[in-house]
Amino acid sequence: MTGPARLALAVRLRWLFIVAGLIVLPLFLQNAFLQHVLVITLIYLVLILGLNIVIGLSGQIALCQAALYGVGAYASAILVKQTSLPFWLSLPFAVGVCAGLGFLLSSCVVKMRSHYLALATIGFGEILINVFRSAGSLTGGANGLAGIPAPRLGRWVIDSPLSYYYLALSVAVLGYVGMISIRRSQLGVALRAVRDNEIAASSLGVNSVRLKVLAFTLCAAYAGTAGALYAHFDGFVGPESFSTSQSILLFCVLVVGGLGRPLGSLIGAVLFVVGQEFFRAFSQYQLVLFGSTVIIVMAFAPQGLAGLFRSLVLRTGGGNIDEALVESVTTWNPNRAKAPNSFAKSATPSSLELPPISDGPISSKDAIVIDDLVVRYGGVTALDHVSFSVKSGEIFCLIGPNGAGKTTLLNTIGGQQRPAKGRLMMNPKFQTGVRPAKSVRLVGRRSHEVARLGLSRTFQTSQLFPELSSIENVMVGQYLHREMRTSLLRVFFLPWLAKRQDTVAREEAENWLRFTGLYKYRFNLTKYLPYGLRRVLEIARCMATKPEVLLLDEPSAGMSASERTALVNLLRTISNLGVTLIIVAHDLELVRILAHHVVVLDYGKVIFDGHPKDLRENAQVVDAYLGRKRTELEPVF
Amino acid sequence: MFTQQVLSGLASGFIYALLALGFAAVYKSMRLINFAQGELFMAGAFIGLLLARNLKLAFVPVLLLTGLLLFLFGMLFERFILAPASSRSPEVHGMIRTVGLSVVLQGVALLAWGTDEYRFPQLLSSGSFSVHSISIPLNLLFIGGTSLALLAALVIFLRYTHVGLCMRAASQNRLGAKVVGINVKFVRSLAFGLSASLAGIAGVLIAPLWYVQYSMGTMMGMKGFTAAVLGSLGSFPGAVMGGLILGVVENLTAGYVSSVWKDAGVFAILIGVLALRPQGLFGRRYNERV
């Protein structure tokens, strides 16, 4: 084997080496104190992994992790002491109690925005600590509970640090692999999408509330596991170890370690335990050290030490190990991502050769029916008794001067805005697992439900997920298809199956990127993409939801002439796939070449509804656009 | 009994209100939650202690000097530690830096004074007068008066002075403010300095009633934040109302239920309010724009 090949093999088998190293590690440390420290580190690793899922992946700043850890510890300890059930039953019990509590709390607080959420979780933690202190008959009050038995396996008691190390190690490895697996899966991509832009994620059919509650519950389950492990290792639980300042410290070390990365949790756990165990002699310096470390690391490595580590490894020539690494190359060197002249050049495979417009697959059936729709903002009537219908398969354009209510209408159809009055019906053409057969009401549905009915949209200013790569942006669009989703069971216990499923999802996402000509940007974080490409990527993302109706808000705004031509080609191709297009446009030229059907809005009223070629002859439309009425009545200057 | 409970609740309520005002000022001008507010409060109490004990100053100069010192400290911290964070995701990174500051301040206090509790010299008369058999402590009047005066000063400053206008503009649109020539950096430092000085003044005000200790700020910071959120984050009158409500509710819980459940009661109410009215008790509901 040549040198590089050997290196590549070593890289492929790196997890094997790491796990083997971890298994033999304590055998070299004959010192009981060091073994003890190792066990504690593993327990905190589990705890901080949970915190990383809720903060790093789902973006909810939860500051009650130490209290939930306490719940796990107390639950397991109380169960074992009261009923003398074995540890193997009290561990799942503790996990269940914690997950249940996390679920309840999260259901109450899930709709709060970040700062409020942080505060509510602090409050929740304080309440729990109060319960630990005051429910004396169960928790032992301020004295805590002592004499918690060590777990036993048959006749073998797991009470030495060395044997407990292997127990904690297996749990920690499970938790660590679980987090890697979640982060990579369709579920993790959707979670990160919710973190970056909740409105856009919902518009793609992601139920953000459900996902956030799920992340919180998972985090609580991790905390419960860690708590039970701790209680039976230490043999004692007391209320002092679970205070809010502990929660805040855990949050700090996680941020220093690196949010959103499993390695960040490991670094955080090591920092936390080293700080607590080794600096015990200088405990009065501990706080100052912790605080200044946080400030210094934040100043020099805002991505945390894990992010710094990745970029350093890459700089020293680790090579293209896997996709995630390629992803971080582009994170680190944004300027190397070369901007293309136009996405069309690489984009027109033979399938994009276009038939004439008249061949468009328009049916006589209505896809969307809007009836007497009224939307008001305070005293302003943005939509004034608007009624029209869009035929299935047509390219429909909605135009009108600024402030005519175009975007409001789009938001109302998409479920982002509630109308004061009126009916909005949609007739799904294909019945799929998520779509009903009959025509359905759209008013009153939340935006992710609307997306699941087969209605997808883009936004006036691009709403991509900036911290996700192009391919992951498209994967968010696939989330609403059940066959693409991985179950949590698989993620934790059959990670290789989850990985295979994930590969399928990625391949399909790649196809959508090829379709729109964005394939070569698949690993670029979208915050580094140029403007025109972002707009196209938004369309690719919508197509991944396999919509029947696609709503586009000013798709050509800010595009160059060549980009616009390519866009027209792309939209015609999409139309030929049988997708109904509803386009809000400013650009009359675009309307002239694309539209089958045009509605003109002015001050919230429909003033024209018909074929585009009749537009110029319509006096009302000309007035609205050229403002003749106004210049006659009231001179502007 | 009830009136007496409410009255003593008002005293701590005004302190919460001052802390809440600090949170509101920083949030309003920087969109940042200052997690060090409680520790700045503690720092104020200790600085006040030094000034009063070692320099034998009277109460009002102690108050003013503490306010000034913390104002300068806040300005410097913002300028050299927080401002560099603001280029990338300012909310989270800024917040974490203030968490760092709070931990450092607590650590420094622990190193300098240990875990002991210190008695603050009684510089004000600790007497009280009674109306209809309800005794009203003079302290309460002084604390309440100072808080309300500070609230009025803040509102006037933000609403009727040019610098105040600049601060409001910078908070709503940084780039826009820069373009019209506002020194946004300075304005942000000013806001943080103001909020630090409010916390410090609150620390000195409450110190004669309590003992001064290195960990006195943690819970106070949380309660101040709670008060600010109750009254809708970023609103000054809301912050004061939130603080007063919090103080009274807490004292009533302690009086009629049990002092053990004092804090839990406060936080339970908080979660309830947040779940039902996420915009705070006095805030207006607003739609997130697409």
What are chain B's domains? 2-120+133-276 (1.10.3470)
Per-residue confidence band for A529, with pLDDT thresholds at 50, 70 and 90: confident
On chain A, the residues whose CB falls within 8 A of the CB of B277 are none
Closest to B229 (Cβ–Cβ): which among A119, A199, A244? A119
Q: What is the pLDDT of residues A532-549, one digit of tens each?
A: 888 889 999 998 888 888
Single-letter residue type at B219: M
Pairing of strands A366-377, A380-391: antiparallel
Closest to B84 (Cβ–Cβ): which among A61, A199, A299? A299
Comparison of pLDDT for A329 and A174, the residue scoring more: A174
> Helix B37-54 to helix B2-30 angle, to the nearest 10 degrees?
110
Angle at A15 between CA A12 and CA A21, to 5 degrees: 130
Is pLDDT above 60 for A459? yes
Distance from CA of A46 to the nearest CA of B (A): 22
Q: Which helix (H) or strand (E) holds B103?
A: helix B90-113
pLDDT at A357: 37
Per-residue confidence band for A411, with pLDDT thresholds at 50, 70 and 90: confident
- Please give the Cα distance from B15 to B38 (Å, whole number): 11
CB contact under 8 A, B260 and A298: no
On chain A, the residues whose CB falls within 8 A of the CB of B264 are 126-127, 130-131
pLDDT at A353: 35
Q: What is the pLDDT of residues A349-367, one digit of tens each?
A: 333 333 333 344 566 678 8
Compute the mean pLDDT over every residue in chain B, rounded to the nearest whole number. Answer: 82
pLDDT at B85: 65
Mean local confidence (pLDDT), B17-23: 88
CB contact under 8 A, B261 and A134: yes
Single-letter residue type at B34: N
Residue identified by tokens 């974080």 is A525
Specify which of A473-482, A557-566, B92-101, B267-276 reaches the highest per-range mean pLDDT.
Answer: A473-482
Give the ipTM of the model, two decimals please: 0.79
Task: Tell me if A126 sits within 8 A of A244, measured CB to CB.
Answer: yes
- Please give the Cα distance from A176 to A265 (Å, whole number): 9
**Selection from A45, A35, A38, A43 nearest residue A269 by Cα:** A45
Buried/exposed code over A610-632 (b: 16+ C-beta within 10 A; e: otherwise): eebeebeeeeebeebeeeeeeee
Comparison of pLDDT for A586 and A484, the residue scoring more: A586
Comparison of pLDDT for A399 and A336, the residue scoring more: A399
Specify which of A263-272, A590-599, B277-286 reaches the highest per-range mean pLDDT.
Answer: A263-272
Which distant-in-sequence residues (6+ apart) come within 8 Å of A399 by Cβ?
A: A406, A584, A585, A586, A588, A591, A598, A599, A600, A601
Q: What is the pLDDT of residues B190-201, one digit of tens each?
A: 889 998 998 999
Specify which of A618-622, B223-227, B229-233 reaches the highest per-range mean pLDDT.
Answer: B223-227
Per-residue confidence band for B71, with pLDDT thresholds at 50, 70 and 90: very high
Mean local confidence (pLDDT), B32-45: 89
**Selection from B81, B102, B34, B216 nearest residue A290 by Cα:** B102
Bridge partner list, B118? B212
Give the DSSP letter string of A502-524: HHHHHHHHHHHHHHHT-GGGTTS
Pairing of strands A549-553, A395-399: unpaired
A34 in contact with B at a CB cutoff of 8 Å? Answer: no
Single-letter residue type at A524: N
Q: Phi/psi at A440 (nearest 5 deg)?
A: -125, 155
Task: Tell me if B214 sits within 8 A of B28, measured CB to CB.
Answer: no
pLDDT at A331: 32
On chain A, the residues whose CB falls within 8 A of the CB of B273 are none
A173 in contact with B at a CB cutoff of 8 Å? Answer: no
pLDDT at A5: 76
What is the DSSP-derived secondary structure letter of residue A558? T
Range of weakest confidence among B5-14, B42-51, B52-61, B88-97: B88-97
Q: How far is CA A435 from CA A258, A275, A480, A484, A548, in A?
A: 40, 54, 11, 16, 11
- Please give the Cα distance from A522 to A407 (Å, whole number): 30
What sign results for the dihedral spanned by CA atoms B73, B78, B80, B85? Answer: positive
What are chain A's domains? 8-315 (1.10.3470), 361-633 (3.40.50.300)
CB contact under 8 A, B264 and A288: no
- Please give the Cα distance from A425 to A371 (Å, whole number): 8
Q: What is the pLDDT of residues B72-93, one digit of tens each?
A: 999 999 888 887 765 556 667 7
A244 in contact with B at a CB cutoff of 8 Å? Answer: yes
Comparison of pLDDT for A630 and A151, the residue scoring more: A151
pLDDT at B123: 64
CB contact under 8 A, A244 and B103: no
- Please give the Cα distance from A272 to A70 (Å, whole number): 17
Distance from CA of A109 to the nearest CA of B (A): 6
CB contact residues (below 8 A), chain A span 126-145, against chain B: 126-127, 130-131, 133-134
Comparison of pLDDT for B163 and A169, the residue scoring more: A169
Comparison of pLDDT for A312 and A39, the residue scoring more: A39
Task: Tell me if B16 sits within 8 A of B251, measured CB to CB.
Answer: no
pLDDT at A347: 34
- Please give the Cα distance from A493 to A516 (Å, whole number): 36
Q: Which helix (H) or strand (E) holds A109?
A: helix A87-109
Compute the mean pLDDT over every residue in chain A, rounded to the nearest whole number. Answer: 80
Q: Which helix (H) or strand (E) holds A177?
A: helix A161-184
Single-letter residue type at A571: L
Is pLDDT above 70 for A626? no
Residue identified by tokens 């696609």 is A550
Output helix, strand, coil percentages for chain B, rounded to the nearest 5.
75, 5, 20
Is pLDDT above 80 for B212? yes
Is pLDDT above 90 for A221? yes
Per-residue confidence band for A371, with pLDDT thresholds at 50, 70 and 90: confident
On chain B, the residues whose CB falls within 8 A of the CB of A202 are none
